Structure 1
Amino acid sequence: MTDDIAAGSPAPDAPPSAAAGPVVDPEVQAQWDQRYATQDRLWSGRPNGALVTEVAGLAPGRVLDVGCGEGADAIWLAEAGWEVTAVEVSAVALERAAGHARDAGVAVHWVHATLEGAQLPPASFDLVSAQYPALLRTPDAAAERALLAAVAPGGLLLLVHHAGMETQEVREDGFDPADYVWPSMVAALFDEDWTVELDEQRPRLAPEHGAGAHHAEDLVLRARRLR
């Protein structure tokens, strides 16, 4: 659903790494690998519009790209001077992303894992970007809590999703919105350590072509961790 989900940065041609232990459900990986394998490029190859709008004026720091897909956002961030860690469940997508990064001459730390299983250093990212992430919902809100836990004090969480999907019925292909995490679920976990800087629905600045280009409205949630 991304348009386009160890410390340090490898060389630009370094392969994706995997955190220790079982960090990706084989069935989930197989589903996404199969989707990516159906075509040479699933997404547009350009960074998401909401990311560009919200991040363009920020001073670069450490950023986590959640559900990085084929790497367009991660590469754009790296070109802008960010130290990028990018997490993705699909091995097919990560191999493509690493290749695109090599072509662009930038270094990105690629991690083959779910967000919850990536074993990321807590509270260490100046920006956590989740652009249309396919985060599975669990009773303990593991994905939501992992998003919040990754943000450093003073840092930003930027969560962007397709408006209107949260309330849709189960589709014929089996996709059930109730199985996934939506911005309202993340916002419900904010406490006094967080301040919401932006929470709105607005027209999507969509790259042409690529899956998801037909969605016209975005939900954009930007929140800052105070401490």
Structure 2
Amino acid sequence: MDDAAHRRHAELGFDEASWEERYRIAPALWSGRANPQLVAEAADLPPGRALDAGSGEGGDALWLAGRGWRVTAVDFSTVALGRAAVEAGRLGIEVDWVHADLTRWAPPEGAFDLVSAQYLHLPGDDRDPVVAGLAAAVAPGGSLLVVGHRPSEVHVGRPEMFFTAQQVAATLDPDAWDVVVCEDRPRTASGPAGRELPVADTVLRARRRA
């Protein structure tokens, strides 16, 4: 993505129309690969039913489905879901693609063995109810995985959109959940003009007690 495209993306908001525009102006917004923190945390989990919340162009959903998971992938961008469905067809992989706004759509309670939300950045007033709904969708013995960006030169903007793993963990009932991972992990990301810049992910993985 060139500097002009970066500036155009930075000018957009975080509502459904803005994300549709982001996807529309880019042939592919993401790499198509699974997010590294999902791979790190889910690679050894036994396949079951998975919910990919904010699935975008489907990299995570396709990775999970390719490993034997029965995946429901939810996003409010029709452009992104369309691209994901085309790639699933090319690979011969089945995923249940759901067009929905996670601030208005509630997943069925206790229905999933893994609920994954990768870089689902929402204003604080929306984030806590959405996370509560995602947590409620985890079956006994299942896992909740929430990953976000820590603010950096690459990830700037509205500060209320960012969170820490500790903040997410604090919303979970300690009598019902075991926190398995709650930490920040440094890595690098491609910034404007292709520069590699230091960033960090904040990672929460919790297991609902059986």
Cα distance in structure 2, aligned partners of 1:37 and 1:85:
23
Query: In the superposition, relative to structure 1, how do residues 221 and 148 fare at CA in structure 2: closer, same or farther (>3 Å)?
Result: same
Question: How is 1:60-139 mapped onto 2 (pairs within 5 angstroms)?
Answer: 60-138=47-125
Using the size of structure 2 for normalisation, the TM-score is 0.81
Q: Name 2:33's counterpart in structure 1.
A: 46
Q: What amino acid does structure 2 have at the position aligned with 1:115?
A: L
CA distance in 1, matches of 2:143, 2:132: 15
Please point out which of 196, 201, 210 is paired with 1:218: 201
The count of aligned residue pairs is: 193
Q: Is the 8 A contact 1:44 1:208 kept in 2?
A: no
Q: What TM-score do the two structures reach when normalised by structure 1?
A: 0.76
State the 1:79 CA deviation.
0.5
Specify the SS of the correspondent of 2:83.
helix
C-alpha separation between the residues in 2 aligned to 1:205 and 1:89? Answer: 28
Letter paired with 1:178 = E
Kindly state the Cα deviation for residue 179 of structure 1 after the two structures are TM-superposed: 4.2
Unaligned residue ranges in structure 1 (runs of 5+): 1-26
Displaced runs of 4 or more, over 6 A: 205-209
Q: Give the direction of change, closer, same or farther, for the CA distance of 1:197–1:207 in structure 2 (3 Å limit).
A: farther
1:112–1:44 CA distance, 2 compared to 1 (3 A): same
Q: Is the CA contact (8 Å cut-off) linking 2:169 and 2:182 kept in structure 1?
A: no
Matched, 1:177 2:159: yes
Q: In the aligned structure 1, how far is the partner of 2:188 from the partner of 2:46? A: 22
Report the RMSD for the aligned CA atoms in angstroms. 2.8
Higher helix share: 2
Tell me the distance in 1 between the aligned counterparts of 2:190 and 2:109. 32
> What amino acid maps onto 1:48 in structure 2?
N
Distance (whole Å) between structure 1 residues aligned to residue 127 and residue 19 of structure 2: 24
The letter of the residue matching 2:26 is Q
Q: How far apart are the structure 2 equivalents of 1:108 and 1:184?
A: 31
**Alpha-carbon contact 2:106-2:133 (below 8 Å) kept:** no
Between structures 1 and 2, the one with greater strand share: 2
